[in-house]
């Protein structure tokens, strides 16, 4: 692992030598679209629908950046990336922004030469169990067999959790998400562990979802954030404030439906945010209407959340940590002024 990190660091340095000079914003404007790295297989975050149209929370984040830069959320091209190819694609300049449910960590932020911006989803690892197990807390899972994807941080987290609580576990590792879920429902393990954002979706595919429940414990922190190349501060600011604009819009009560009426608002905060009072756009090097375009074309954070992963989608996720700070969540935007 250490050697791998060194290799990556060297590669990152190579990439930086090449990329430090050119400004991403100018490059992006010259080619006329944003190249975004996305997941491709993660329902609710980044995945094409049955017509091949990209959908998801991360996809909408990339669309917000396009709306900010071009005033047109459709000027994005997507590169599906695997967990292994995602960072190199960013370093080599193949993509301009990485919106692929990446957990922000210290080593990625430093050694890999990435810069993470505002978190667009706070995730964490949890447990799914059959109700007939009669367990109400993860602390009672001593001796349980646990279905888990191999080679992920998930596998390490669950091992750490059981060890630190002095419990024993039998891991049942299966490579593929769909097969893992099948094994769990067939009773090959007592519980299934995965990112909480996936557990609800997994539960939904059971033949009788009411027989299963998600335990309240969240055993890891997974702040998922978009990333850009290290060293291009203007581009980082743009991506950062594109995400924040969605959060700020929700704080201010602006939605894609009422944004045109809000243009007439006399609230100085809203006037500044929507570019009626000028200044924000110029500071970022963007059109003054960038926040208006984001909200109009993509929506505020609440709308994006509910559309892709919210309670009315197959994933059925509650806002939880991803609610606004005013509602007890972690989503908080600095003032737009």
Q: What residues contact residue 313 under an 8 Å CB cut-off, 6+ apart?
A: 44, 306, 307
Is 260 or 318 the residue whose CB approaches other proteins more closely?
318
The site for other proteins, by CB under 8 A, has a size of 46
Among 2, 3, 51, 210, binds other proteins (CB under 8 A): 51
256 near other proteins, judged by CB under 8 A: no
Contact pattern for other proteins over residues 102 through 141, marking x by CB under 8 A: ----------------------------------------
Residue 260 engages other proteins in binding (rule: CB under 8 A): no
Q: Is 261 in the site for other proteins (CB under 8 A)?
A: no
Residue in 43, 116, 184, 241 binding other proteins, rule: CB under 8 A: 43
Establish if 93 lies at the interface with other proteins (CB under 8 A): yes
> Per rule CB under 8 A, is residue 281 in the interface with other proteins?
no
Give yes or no for a contact between 109 and 117, defined as CB atoms under 8 angstroms apart.
no
278: contact with other proteins by CB under 8 A? no
Is residue 105 a contact partner of residue 157, using CB atoms and an 8 Å limit? no
Q: How far is the CB of 297 from other proteins (least distance, A)?
A: 20
Of 112 and 141, nearer to other proteins (C-beta) is 112
40 sits near other proteins (criterion: CB under 8 A): yes
Integer Cα distance of 158 and 162 in angstroms: 6
Residue from 41, 142, 211, 267 binding other proteins (CB under 8 A): 41
Specify the stretch interacting with other proteins by CB under 8 A; choose among 89-97, 130-138, 265-273, 275-283.
Answer: 89-97
Q: Which of 22, 97, 31 is nearest to 64 (CA)?
A: 97
The interface with other proteins within residues 55-84 (CB under 8 A) comprises: 77, 79-82, 84
Question: Binding of other proteins at residue 202 (CB under 8 A)?
Answer: yes
Establish if 47 lies at the interface with other proteins (CB under 8 A). Answer: yes
Interface residue with other proteins among 181, 199, 238, 254 (CB under 8 A) is 181
Assess 152 for contact with other proteins (CB under 8 A).
no
Query: Pairing between strand 144-148 and 169-173?
Result: parallel
**Shortest Å distance, C-beta 137 to other proteins:** 26
Answer for which of 61, 91, 157, 297 binds other proteins (CB under 8 A) is 91
Structural tokens at position 298: 């993509």
Long-range contacts of 160-168 (CB under 8 A, 24+ apart): 161/219, 161/220, 165/139, 167/139, 167/141, 167/142, 167/143, 168/142, 168/143
Compute how many other C-beta atoms are within 10 angstroms of the C-beta atom of residue 17: 9
Q: Which residues bind other proteins (CB under 8 A)?
A: 11, 14-15, 18-19, 21-22, 27, 40-43, 47-53, 77, 79-82, 84-85, 88-89, 91-94, 176-179, 181-182, 185, 201-202, 204-205, 207, 314-315
């Amino acid at each position: 692992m250490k050697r791998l990190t060194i290799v990556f660091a060297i590669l990152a340095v190579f990439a930086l030598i090449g990329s430090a000079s050119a400004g991403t914003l100018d490059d992006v404007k010259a080619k006329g679209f944003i190249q975004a790295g996305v997941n491709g297989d993660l329902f609710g975050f980044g995945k094409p629908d049955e017509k091949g149209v990209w959908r998801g929370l991360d996809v909408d984040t990339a669309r917000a950046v396009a709306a900010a830069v071009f005033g047109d959320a459709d000027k994005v091209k997507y590169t599906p990336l695997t967990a292994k190819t995602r960072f190199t694609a960013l370093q080599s300049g193949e993509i301009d922004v990485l919106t692929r449910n990446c957990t922000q960590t210290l080593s990625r932020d430093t050694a890999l030469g990435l810069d993470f911006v505002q978190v667009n989803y706070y995730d964490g690892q949890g447990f799914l169990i059959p109700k007939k197990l009669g367990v109400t807390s993860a602390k009672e899972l001593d001796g349980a067999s646990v279905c888990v994807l191999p080679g992920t941080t998930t596998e390490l987290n669950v091992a750490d959790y059981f060890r630190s609580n002095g419990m024993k576990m039998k891991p049942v590792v299966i490579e593929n998400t769909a097969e893992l879920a099948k094994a769990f429902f067939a009773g090959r393990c007592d519980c299934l562990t995965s990112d909480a954002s996936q557990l609800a979706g997994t539960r939904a595919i059971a033949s009788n979802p009411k027989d299963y429940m998600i335990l309240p414990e969240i055993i890891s922190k997974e702040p998922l954030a978009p990333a850009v190349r290290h060293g291009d501060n203007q581009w980082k600011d743009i991506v950062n404030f594109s995400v924040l604009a969605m959060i700020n819009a929700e704080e201010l009560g602006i939605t894609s439906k009422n944004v045109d009426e809000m243009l007439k608002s006399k609230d100085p905060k809203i006037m500044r945010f929507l570019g009626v009072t000028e200044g924000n756009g110029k500071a970022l090097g963007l059109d003054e209407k960038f926040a208006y375009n984001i909200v109009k074309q993509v929506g505020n954070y609440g709308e994006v959340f509910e559309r892709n992963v919210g309670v009315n989608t197959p994933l059925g996720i509650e806002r939880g940590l991803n609610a606004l700070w005013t509602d007890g969540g972690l989503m908080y935007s600095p003032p737009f002024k």
